[in-house]
């Protein structure tokens, strides 16, 4: 699903959220070990009744060790695919005087983005019925804690060159907003401009689209390994007070956001490999089909698109 031109994704900030939403945001930050609320949940907060129902179903999952292990598996798959299939030049020259902060930014998002993708994929399938393993005993979570979030470049702080990159990304990828990952990396403008030059060459490749699709496919498959039963079907949404138009809007938002999250995860992986010295990569052989197989439940068979 492409994000239609002119549409705006409403994101609710802490300052404008009602008390119950702020309480869920606090619980979410604690569960993930993060200092900020991901954009996915700020989009959920535009539908308070849905956010409440979602959190009741997902809070026990986020308290499990299995959830974080599955997130790490998604991150590893993204890295393996990008390193194997793409020729990524080295951007390690930016290590002088700035490698540690950039590395910390990449650590932050390589930890967070797979977890958010897993949540979005599970929620997308939960609209259609229960998922997970009710008989599986959840182990207590042990995960990283990030006390400080990366800085993000505001529109007013961005140079004309960075603004042109953001405009170009919006035009090429039909984006609803500039993702926080790209705002964070843009705090190093010289690195970011060279990184975008690399990424822009990869985006048109059918291999890139296939890798993005398969990461989303894995995320959907992994949700079946989550402990407990996760269910927020249409009847529950209607009983919670949402109307049919809101339910349809949530489904459309999820279709776009799952595609966005797979793309951003792959983007941040390319940045990591470039900072580590790049990769020679190797294209898939012509005998190996890159056409997606039957899509998993709740995922469109069309090429993935990005809306963040």
Q: What angle do CA 289, 122, 104 make, to 5 degrees?
A: 85
pLDDT at 95: 56
User: Which sign does the torsion angle of CA 51, 183, 84, 292 carry?
Assistant: positive
Domain count for the chain: 1
- Report how many helices (DSSP H) and strands (DSSP E) the chain contains, helices first: 11, 0
Contact 265, 114 (CB under 8 A): yes
Q: Is residue 284 part of a domain?
A: no
Q: Is residue 4 part of a domain?
A: no
Contact 113, 264 (CB under 8 A): yes
- Render each residue's pLDDT in the chain as its tens digit; 308 residues: 344 444 567 889 999 999 999 999 999 999 999 999 999 999 999 999 999 999 999 999 999 999 999 999 999 999 999 999 999 999 988 754 444 589 899 999 999 999 999 999 999 999 988 888 888 777 888 888 999 999 999 999 999 999 999 999 888 887 778 899 999 999 999 999 999 999 999 999 999 999 999 999 999 999 999 998 898 988 999 999 999 989 988 888 888 888 889 999 999 999 999 999 999 876 443 334 333 344 333 333 333 444 44
Range of the domain at 211: 14-275
Q: Is residue 293 part of a domain?
A: no
Q: Is residue 254 part of a domain?
A: yes
Rounded CA-CA distance 47/12 in Å is 10
Q: Is residue 306 part of a domain?
A: no
Q: Is residue 148 part of a domain?
A: yes
Length of the chain equals 308
CA–centroid distance for 173 within its chain: 15
Q: Is residue 238 part of a domain?
A: yes
Q: What secondary structure does DSSP assign to 262-289, as a single string?
A: HHHHHHHHHHHHHHTT-B---PPPTTS-
């Amino acid at each position: 699903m492409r994000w239609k031109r002119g549409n705006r994704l409403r994101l609710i900030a802490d300052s404008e959220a009602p008390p119950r939403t702020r309480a869920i945001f606090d619980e979410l930050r604690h569960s993930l070990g993060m200092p900020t609320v991901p954009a996915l949940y700020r989009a959920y907060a535009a539908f308070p009744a849905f956010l409440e129902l979602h959190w009741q179903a997902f809070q026990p999952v986020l308290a499990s060790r299995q959830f974080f292990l599955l997130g790490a598996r998604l991150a590893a798959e993204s890295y393996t695919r990008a390193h194997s299939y793409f020729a990524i030049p080295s951007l390690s020259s930016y290590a002088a005087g700035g490698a540690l902060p950039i590395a910390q930014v990449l650590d932050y998002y390589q930890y967070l983005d797979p977890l958010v993708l897993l949540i979005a994929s599970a929620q997308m399938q939960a609209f259609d019925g229960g998922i997970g393993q009710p008989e599986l005993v959840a182990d207590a979570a042990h995960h990283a804690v990030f006390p400080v979030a990366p800085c993000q470049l505001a529109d007013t702080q961005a140079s004309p060159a960075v603004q042109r990159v953001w405009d170009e990304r919006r035009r090429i990828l039909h984006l609803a907003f500039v993702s926080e990952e790209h705002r964070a990396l843009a705090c190093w403008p010289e690195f970011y401009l060279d990184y975008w030059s690399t990424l822009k060459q990869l985006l048109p490749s059918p291999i890139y689209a296939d890798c993005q699709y398969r990461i989303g496919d894995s995320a959907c498959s992994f949700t079946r390994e989550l402990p407990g039963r996760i269910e927020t079907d249409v009847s529950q949404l209607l009983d919670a007070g949402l109307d049919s138009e809101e339910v349809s809007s949530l489904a459309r938002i999820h279709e776009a956001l799952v595609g966005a999250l797979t793309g951003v995860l792959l983007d941040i992986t390319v940045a990591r490999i470039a900072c580590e010295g790049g990769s020679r990569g190797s294209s898939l052989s012509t005998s190996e089909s890159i056409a997606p197989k039957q899509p998993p439940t709740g995922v469109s068979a069309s090429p993935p698109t990005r809306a963040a």
